[in-house]
Amino acid sequence: MIFDFIFFSEFPIDSSLFNEKEQNAGNDYVVGYFINNIDNTWSDFFCQPSFFNKGNGRFCLALESSILVENIQGKLTDNLVEVLGPIFFNHRYFTLNGIPLINVLVSIQEEKEICLVEPDRLLDLLNLIFHQLGYEAFYYCLINKSNMQMIKTNIPFDFIIYKQELSSYNENPKEWYLDFLENKSTTQRLIFFFTTSSMPINSIFSELRNAEVELKKKNPRLFAMLEEKAIFAKQLEHYEINLRGLKKEIESKEEYIANFHMKSAMKKMVDFYHYEYEILPTWYKRLGHIIKVITGKRTFRSLFSDKVKKYKN
């Protein structure tokens, strides 16, 4: 597909139902779990081995802001760190440029509450959670749940939010996507697709895929350009991840080198050598070399000549 799709739908009470709904093997889209409560269903679903090693299908979370508000008021950050940690660590968790994305849904009624608990305080809490988990950075997206407008984000490129029920295309995502591809898809890379439809995600995804097939037939030039743009965006992401890796490697090497320049470290090594070896009497050191030959660690001939191989490995 040209775009990365994140399909959000309600997290059901019976997690096994969601398991069936999420059969996305072979489909390269992201499953978004809309979470409004952290209970046993949550841990039963996310903390099972089969969820961790289920191929490469990516997923991410959209937390209802009330979960965060409760934790700010109850000062329960540790609890959130405990439940979110293994989820963010899961290799299938969706990342942009190698950095995890977390979404927060804020409903209109809650917006009053968010006035009491400012978006910045929500972000402070998210900052704390990610920091405690060892992340240097994370992407967030605060979305008004009622009108699907973005409130605040730090995602570094354009994306759109599509809510099927609010769209004039309603039950026909294919037509919406075709129109989007033909007329509006200039800068975006990512599409948030919210649905409460009973239609399985796989079926919606097939419809969207059909829209691309149709565009390819109808306007092959436009399709080729969009496809090329998507490939470049993926390459850029790949380079950015590698660049960050290389920067980290240089930082590490500089730290290692700095340690060797430290007088105390050098002195410790030289002192160790002096006290452990240098102060031994010469006859004892020579005897040590003979013992090396006897134990097979040094060649016999090397005792008499510097031109032969000294050590066996």
Partner 1 sequence: MSLLVIAHIYYPSDWEYLFERLVNLKEYSCTFIFNVVNPLYDKKEVLQYIHENFPHAILIEAPNHGRDIGGKLAAIDVSLKLKINSDFTLIIHDKQSPHTPTGFRWRNELFRVIEKKELPRIFSKFEKSKKTAIIGSGKFLMNEYDFSSQRFDSFSDEILRELIKETDLRLTDYSFIAGNIFWIRSELLRDFFSKHSPLKIRSKLEHGNVLDFNKGTYIHSWERIFSWLANIYGLKIVGI
Does position 309 interact with partner 1 (CB under 8 A)? The reply is: no
Stretch that binds partner 1, among 20-28, 61-69, 208-216, 262-270 (CB under 8 A): 262-270
When binding is defined by CB under 8 A, the residue of 25, 118, 120, 135 that contacts partner 1 is 135
Binding track over 139-178 against partner 1, x by CB under 8 A = ----------------------------------------
Asked if residues 159 and 3 have their Cβ atoms less than 8 Å apart, the reply is no
Give dist(CA 298, CA 302) in Å, integer.
7
Does position 95 interact with partner 1 (CB under 8 A)? The reply is: yes
Asked if residues 186 and 26 have their Cβ atoms less than 8 Å apart, the reply is no
Stretch that binds partner 1, among 23-31, 93-101, 109-117, 158-166 (CB under 8 A): 93-101
For residue 162, which amino acid is it? Y
Does position 245 interact with partner 1 (CB under 8 A)? The reply is: yes
**Of the candidates 1, 4, 7, the residue with the CA atom closest to the CA atom of residue 193:** 7
In the block, tokens 């090397």 appear at: 302
3 state SS for 180-208: HHHHCCCCCCEEEEECCCCCCHHHHHHHH
Q: Which is nearer to partner 1, 130 or 193 (by Cβ)?
A: 130
Give dist(CA 185, CA 166) in Å, integer.
19
Backbone angles phi, psi at 157, to 5 degrees: -145, 170
User: Who contacts 154 (Cβ-Cβ below 8 Å, separation ≥6)?
Assistant: 139, 140
Binding track over 25-44 against partner 1, x by CB under 8 A = ------------------x-
When binding is defined by CB under 8 A, the residue of 78, 118, 124, 158 that contacts partner 1 is 78
Q: Which residues bind partner 1 (CB under 8 A)?
A: 43, 47-49, 52-53, 56, 78, 81-82, 85-86, 89-91, 93, 95, 98-99, 131-136, 238, 241-242, 244-246, 248-249, 251-253, 255-256, 259-260, 262, 264-265, 268
